[in-house]
Amino acid sequence: MKKLWIVLASLIVAITAPFVSAANFTEGKDYSALTLPQSEQKEVIQFFSFYCPHCYDYELKYQIPEKIKQSLPTGVTFKQYHVNFLGAQSANLTRAWALAMAIGEEDKVRAPLFEAARKNSLHSMEDIRQIFIENGIDGKTFDGAINSFAVNALVVKQEKTAESFKVRGVPDFYINGKYHIETGNNSGFSNIKTLDEFVQRYVDLTQFLLKK
Protein backbone atom coordinates (compact mmCIF):
# COMPACT_ATOMS: atom_id res chain seq x y z
CA MET A 1 0.00 0.00 0.00
CA LYS A 2 2.84 2.37 0.85
CA LYS A 3 4.45 1.70 -2.53
CA LEU A 4 1.13 2.38 -4.26
CA TRP A 5 0.84 5.79 -2.60
CA ILE A 6 4.40 6.63 -3.64
CA VAL A 7 3.58 5.75 -7.27
CA LEU A 8 0.37 7.79 -7.18
CA ALA A 9 2.18 10.75 -5.67
CA SER A 10 4.79 10.57 -8.41
CA LEU A 11 2.09 10.51 -11.07
CA ILE A 12 0.37 13.53 -9.54
CA VAL A 13 3.65 15.47 -9.57
CA ALA A 14 4.27 14.48 -13.20
CA ILE A 15 0.78 15.48 -14.27
CA THR A 16 0.69 18.78 -12.45
CA ALA A 17 4.27 19.86 -13.20
CA PRO A 18 3.39 21.67 -16.48
CA PHE A 19 0.64 23.61 -14.72
CA VAL A 20 3.02 24.64 -11.95
CA SER A 21 5.42 25.88 -14.64
CA ALA A 22 2.65 27.80 -16.40
CA ALA A 23 1.63 29.39 -13.10
CA ASN A 24 5.11 30.94 -12.93
CA PHE A 25 4.49 33.02 -16.06
CA THR A 26 3.53 36.55 -15.04
CA GLU A 27 2.47 39.56 -17.06
CA GLY A 28 5.05 42.33 -17.05
CA LYS A 29 7.85 39.86 -16.46
CA ASP A 30 7.54 36.97 -18.87
CA TYR A 31 5.13 38.56 -21.32
CA SER A 32 3.40 41.84 -22.01
CA ALA A 33 -0.16 42.40 -23.22
CA LEU A 34 -0.59 44.53 -26.32
CA THR A 35 -3.30 47.09 -26.93
CA LEU A 36 -3.73 46.03 -30.56
CA PRO A 37 -6.81 44.18 -31.83
CA GLN A 38 -6.45 40.42 -31.39
CA SER A 39 -5.80 38.58 -34.65
CA GLU A 40 -8.79 36.74 -36.08
CA GLN A 41 -6.73 33.60 -36.56
CA LYS A 42 -4.68 32.07 -33.77
CA GLU A 43 -1.07 32.57 -34.72
CA VAL A 44 2.50 32.89 -33.53
CA ILE A 45 4.67 35.44 -35.35
CA GLN A 46 8.44 35.53 -35.06
CA PHE A 47 10.31 38.56 -36.36
CA PHE A 48 13.88 37.85 -37.41
CA SER A 49 16.75 39.00 -39.58
CA PHE A 50 19.17 36.89 -41.56
CA TYR A 51 21.88 39.26 -40.29
CA CYS A 52 21.01 38.68 -36.62
CA PRO A 53 23.45 36.27 -34.88
CA HIS A 54 20.89 35.40 -32.20
CA CYS A 55 18.32 34.61 -34.90
CA TYR A 56 20.93 32.36 -36.52
CA ASP A 57 21.42 30.49 -33.24
CA TYR A 58 17.69 30.26 -32.54
CA GLU A 59 17.06 28.84 -36.00
CA LEU A 60 20.03 26.63 -36.82
CA LYS A 61 21.54 25.69 -33.44
CA TYR A 62 18.67 25.64 -30.93
CA GLN A 63 15.82 25.11 -33.44
CA ILE A 64 13.46 27.14 -31.27
CA PRO A 65 11.11 28.19 -34.11
CA GLU A 66 10.77 24.59 -35.29
CA LYS A 67 10.10 23.28 -31.80
CA ILE A 68 7.47 25.96 -31.19
CA LYS A 69 5.88 25.10 -34.55
CA GLN A 70 5.79 21.39 -33.76
CA SER A 71 4.10 22.09 -30.42
CA LEU A 72 1.26 24.19 -31.82
CA PRO A 73 -2.32 22.93 -31.63
CA THR A 74 -4.24 22.28 -34.84
CA GLY A 75 -5.43 25.51 -36.40
CA VAL A 76 -2.63 27.70 -35.03
CA THR A 77 -0.23 29.06 -37.65
CA PHE A 78 3.44 29.94 -37.25
CA LYS A 79 4.80 32.82 -39.32
CA GLN A 80 8.29 34.22 -39.66
CA TYR A 81 8.59 37.84 -40.82
CA HIS A 82 11.87 39.46 -41.83
CA VAL A 83 12.78 42.97 -40.63
CA ASN A 84 14.50 45.75 -42.55
CA PHE A 85 16.64 47.39 -39.90
CA LEU A 86 19.71 45.11 -39.89
CA GLY A 87 22.28 44.75 -42.66
CA ALA A 88 22.91 46.35 -46.03
CA GLN A 89 20.69 43.91 -47.95
CA SER A 90 17.90 43.72 -45.38
CA ALA A 91 15.23 45.23 -47.66
CA ASN A 92 16.16 42.84 -50.48
CA LEU A 93 16.11 39.94 -48.02
CA THR A 94 12.65 40.95 -46.80
CA ARG A 95 11.46 40.85 -50.43
CA ALA A 96 13.24 37.56 -51.09
CA TRP A 97 11.70 36.07 -47.95
CA ALA A 98 8.29 37.26 -49.17
CA LEU A 99 8.95 35.36 -52.39
CA ALA A 100 9.93 32.24 -50.44
CA MET A 101 6.66 32.47 -48.47
CA ALA A 102 4.62 33.11 -51.62
CA ILE A 103 5.90 29.95 -53.35
CA GLY A 104 6.11 27.85 -50.18
CA GLU A 105 9.87 27.29 -50.35
CA GLU A 106 11.02 28.79 -47.05
CA ASP A 107 12.72 25.55 -45.95
CA LYS A 108 14.92 25.50 -49.06
CA VAL A 109 16.43 28.96 -48.65
CA ARG A 110 16.25 29.74 -44.93
CA ALA A 111 19.55 28.15 -43.86
CA PRO A 112 21.53 29.20 -46.99
CA LEU A 113 20.43 32.81 -46.59
CA PHE A 114 21.42 32.77 -42.92
CA GLU A 115 24.84 31.39 -43.83
CA ALA A 116 25.38 33.90 -46.63
CA ALA A 117 24.40 36.85 -44.44
CA ARG A 118 26.67 35.57 -41.69
CA LYS A 119 29.59 35.49 -44.15
CA ASN A 120 28.64 38.95 -45.46
CA SER A 121 28.57 37.57 -48.99
CA LEU A 122 25.32 39.26 -50.06
CA HIS A 123 25.90 42.46 -52.04
CA SER A 124 22.87 42.64 -54.32
CA MET A 125 19.57 40.98 -55.19
CA GLU A 126 21.53 39.04 -57.80
CA ASP A 127 23.50 37.31 -55.02
CA ILE A 128 20.24 36.41 -53.29
CA ARG A 129 18.79 35.17 -56.59
CA GLN A 130 21.80 32.87 -57.04
CA ILE A 131 21.17 31.29 -53.64
CA PHE A 132 17.58 30.55 -54.65
CA ILE A 133 18.80 28.92 -57.86
CA GLU A 134 21.46 26.87 -56.06
CA ASN A 135 18.79 25.54 -53.74
CA GLY A 136 16.34 24.29 -56.32
CA ILE A 137 14.28 27.35 -57.29
CA ASP A 138 14.30 28.08 -61.00
CA GLY A 139 15.67 31.45 -62.06
CA LYS A 140 12.60 32.10 -64.20
CA THR A 141 10.37 31.50 -61.17
CA PHE A 142 12.44 33.96 -59.16
CA ASP A 143 12.42 36.61 -61.90
CA GLY A 144 8.73 36.25 -62.59
CA ALA A 145 7.66 36.47 -58.95
CA ILE A 146 10.12 38.74 -57.15
CA ASN A 147 8.14 41.89 -58.04
CA SER A 148 4.73 40.25 -58.37
CA PHE A 149 1.56 41.49 -56.71
CA ALA A 150 1.62 38.59 -54.22
CA VAL A 151 5.22 39.27 -53.19
CA ASN A 152 4.63 43.02 -52.96
CA ALA A 153 1.69 42.33 -50.65
CA LEU A 154 3.80 40.09 -48.42
CA VAL A 155 6.57 42.71 -48.25
CA VAL A 156 4.03 45.27 -47.06
CA LYS A 157 2.55 42.74 -44.63
CA GLN A 158 5.92 42.13 -42.99
CA GLU A 159 6.76 45.82 -42.79
CA LYS A 160 3.35 46.95 -41.51
CA THR A 161 3.14 44.18 -38.91
CA ALA A 162 6.61 45.00 -37.58
CA GLU A 163 5.61 48.66 -37.45
CA SER A 164 2.34 48.00 -35.62
CA PHE A 165 4.10 45.82 -33.02
CA LYS A 166 6.90 48.42 -32.73
CA VAL A 167 9.55 45.74 -33.23
CA ARG A 168 12.97 47.12 -32.29
CA GLY A 169 15.01 43.96 -31.84
CA VAL A 170 15.07 40.37 -33.00
CA PRO A 171 14.37 37.53 -32.48
CA ASP A 172 10.95 38.63 -31.25
CA PHE A 173 7.80 36.56 -30.71
CA TYR A 174 4.13 37.60 -30.64
CA ILE A 175 1.09 35.48 -29.84
CA ASN A 176 -2.34 36.11 -31.42
CA GLY A 177 -1.42 39.77 -31.93
CA LYS A 178 -2.14 40.12 -28.23
CA TYR A 179 0.95 39.07 -26.28
CA HIS A 180 4.68 39.69 -26.58
CA ILE A 181 7.22 37.27 -25.10
CA GLU A 182 9.69 39.12 -22.89
CA THR A 183 13.29 37.89 -22.67
CA GLY A 184 15.02 40.74 -20.84
CA ASN A 185 17.21 40.57 -17.76
CA ASN A 186 14.21 40.61 -15.42
CA SER A 187 12.26 37.87 -17.20
CA GLY A 188 12.13 34.22 -16.27
CA PHE A 189 14.61 33.51 -19.05
CA SER A 190 17.34 35.20 -16.98
CA ASN A 191 17.21 32.38 -14.42
CA ILE A 192 17.54 29.54 -16.91
CA LYS A 193 20.44 27.18 -16.19
CA THR A 194 20.53 24.94 -19.31
CA LEU A 195 19.90 25.24 -23.02
CA ASP A 196 17.15 22.62 -22.88
CA GLU A 197 15.33 24.65 -20.23
CA PHE A 198 15.73 27.79 -22.30
CA VAL A 199 14.18 26.17 -25.37
CA GLN A 200 11.41 24.51 -23.38
CA ARG A 201 10.50 27.80 -21.72
CA TYR A 202 9.78 29.29 -25.14
CA VAL A 203 7.54 26.34 -25.99
CA ASP A 204 5.72 26.38 -22.63
CA LEU A 205 5.23 30.15 -22.61
CA THR A 206 3.86 30.07 -26.15
CA GLN A 207 1.39 27.34 -25.18
CA PHE A 208 0.39 29.29 -22.08
CA LEU A 209 -0.30 32.48 -24.04
CA LEU A 210 -2.25 30.68 -26.75
CA LYS A 211 -4.69 29.51 -24.09
CA LYS A 212 -5.23 32.94 -22.51
Can you tell me the distance from the alpha carbon of 159 to that of 162, in angstroms, rounded to the nearest whole number?
Answer: 5
pLDDT at 39: 81
- Which residues are CB-neighbours of 113 under 8 A, at least 6 positions away? 50, 93, 96, 97, 122, 128, 131
Left (φ > 0), alpha (ψ -120 to 50) or beta: where does 75 sit?
A: left
Start-to-end CA span in the chain (Å): 40
pLDDT digits (tens, 9 = 90+) for 68-84: 999 999 999 999 999 99
What pLDDT, in 10s, does the model give residues 143-190? 999 999 999 999 999 999 999 999 999 999 999 999 999 998 888 898
Q: What is the pLDDT of residue 177?
A: 94
pLDDT tens readout for residues 33-71: 999 887 888 999 999 999 999 999 999 999 999 999 999
Mean pLDDT computed over 118-141: 98
pLDDT of residue 210: 95
pLDDT exceeding 90 applies to what percent of the chain?
Answer: 80
Across-strand partners of 77? 43
**pLDDT (mean) for 186-210:** 93
pLDDT of residue 126: 98
For residue 10, give every residue at least 6 positions away whose Cβ sits within 8 Å of its Cβ, in sequence order, or none. Answer: none
Q: Please, which pLDDT band fits residue 15 given cuts at 50, 70 and 90? A: very low
- Strand, helix or coil for residue 202: helix
User: Which amino acid, one-letter code, is at 119?
Assistant: K
Residues 6+ apart with CB under 8 A from 171: 46, 47, 48, 52, 54, 55, 58, 64
Judge contact between 49 and 55, C-beta under 8 A: yes
Q: With a cut of 70, say whether residue 18 has pLDDT above it.
A: no
Sheet with 43-48, side-by-side order of all strands:
31-33, 179-181, 172-175, 43-48, 77-82
pLDDT given at position 14: 35
Is the C-alpha dihedral spanning 75, 45, 176, 16 positive or negative? positive
If you average pLDDT over residues 6-29, what whole number do you get?
51
CA angle 203, 207, 208 (to 5 degrees): 115
